Amino acid sequence: MTAIIRLAERLTSIRRLAFVSRPGPASRSGWAGRARGEVRVEAQDKTIRFFESGTFLLEGRSTPVPFSNCYRWELGETRIALFHERRGADQAVWLFDLIAQGPASLVSAEAHLCGEDRYRARLGLVDEGFDLSWTIQGPRKDESLSYRYRR
C-alpha cells in the first residue's frame, strides 16, 4: 500500500494536534512556542477538511492565546494537495502537493512560494496518525514547524 493511500485512509481518524514553532537565526518573527488543540474533520468525496482549534503558548509568556485554522486536503491518485482556508474555501491558499517518498513518508513535490519565501514539507506516517514538518526560508522568514496529528 502506498503512502498516499495510507495517508488518505488516516486523515478522517485525526482528532488532536500539537505543534512546536521554532525560529531560525534569520527569523524576523521570533515565533517560538508550543500549541495543543483538537481537530474536527469533515469529509466529502475526495476532500477532507481539518478544522483546528486550540491554544498556543509563546516562549517566555505565561498566558496561552487561542488559535484556529482550516486546512483542506484534496486527494489524488499520485498526490495530496494541501490548502489553507484562512480566508474561506473560495479564497484558499494552495500550500503544496505531497507525493510519496517511501511506504511511510511524503514530501512536498515542489516548494510553495510566498513572495520570495519558500515553504517545504515532509510528512511521516506513525501508528496513531502522522507528523508533518514544515520549513519556511527566505528573506522574510526562517521558521520550522513540527506538527503531530493523532487519533
List pLDDT tens digits, range 100-132: 999 999 999 988 778 888 989 999 999 999 999
Mean pLDDT value of segment 122-150: 95
The C-alpha cell of 139 is what? 528573506
Contact yes or no for 26/142 (Cβ under 8 A):
yes
Query: What pLDDT does residue 31 have?
Result: 85
Whether the predicted pLDDT of 15 surpasses 70: yes
- In this structure, how many other beta carbons lie within 10 angstroms of the beta carbon of residue 137? 18
Whether the predicted pLDDT of 71 surpasses 80: yes
> What share of the chain in percent tops pLDDT 90?
86
- Cα angle: 94, vertex 81, 143; to 5 degrees: 60
Query: What pLDDT does residue 18 have?
Result: 98
Query: What pLDDT does residue 1 have?
Result: 61
Half-sphere exposure of 110 (CA within 13 A, CB side): 4
Whether the predicted pLDDT of 64 surpasses 70: yes
- In this structure, how many other beta carbons lie within 10 angstroms of the beta carbon of residue 92? 18
Whether the predicted pLDDT of 32 surpasses 90: yes
Strands 93-102 and 117-126, sheet pairing = unpaired
Mean pLDDT of the chain: 95
Mean pLDDT value of segment 84-101: 94
Q: Rounded to whole angstroms, how far apart are CA atoms 49 and 37? A: 15
> What share of the chain in percent tops pLDDT 70?
99
